[in-house]
Amino acid sequence: MSSDERTFVMVKPDGVQRGLIGEIVSRFEERGLKLVGGKFIQIDQELAHDHYGEHEDKPFFDGLVEFITSGPVFAMVWEGADATRQVRSMVGETDPAESAPGTIRGDFGLDLGRNVIHASDHEDEGANEREIDLFFDEDELLDYERIDEAWLYE
């Protein structure tokens, strides 16, 4: 496979409560991305503060922390060529009202604060690695070859 990249994705509490984990995982699998790590967790205050640290001085910070700790999330790491950009394209704009139909937020999101999913920013080179390290230990990420990989990339 050419230039594998790993990217962090999380189904937020609203997506979990709405039963969207399977649908979201299926979309990434159907695209050809490979799931290399996943876990169902309840985020505590410390992890929430670490995850949203860059927003700490913003007025919406407390709301972000309150929401992300309000229920379980499904954290994942996906792998593939240009995975971060591919995932961001599939997720859509942060505001679901601005997301195209066919994107995850365009199909399932109704509100900026309840937009179903988080994905690492492809424009912030360090975001992926930082977020993966926050949520996963090295031994929780697997290296393996899917049977269809030869058919996905030239």
Burial pattern 3-31, b for ≥16 Cβ within 10 A else e, equals eebbbbbbbbbbbbeeebbeebbebbeee
Distance of CA 107 to the CA centre of its chain: 16
Q: Is 49 a catalytic residue?
A: no
Q: Which of 49, 51, 55, 118 is catalytic?
A: 118
Token code pair at residue 99: 């997301």
β-bridge partners, 10: 75, 118
3-state secondary structure of 120: coil
Query: Please, which residues have CB within 8 angstroms of residue 2's CB and are 6 or more apart in sequence?
Result: 81, 153, 154
Token code pair at residue 97: 């009202």
- Please identify every residue annotated as catalytic: 118
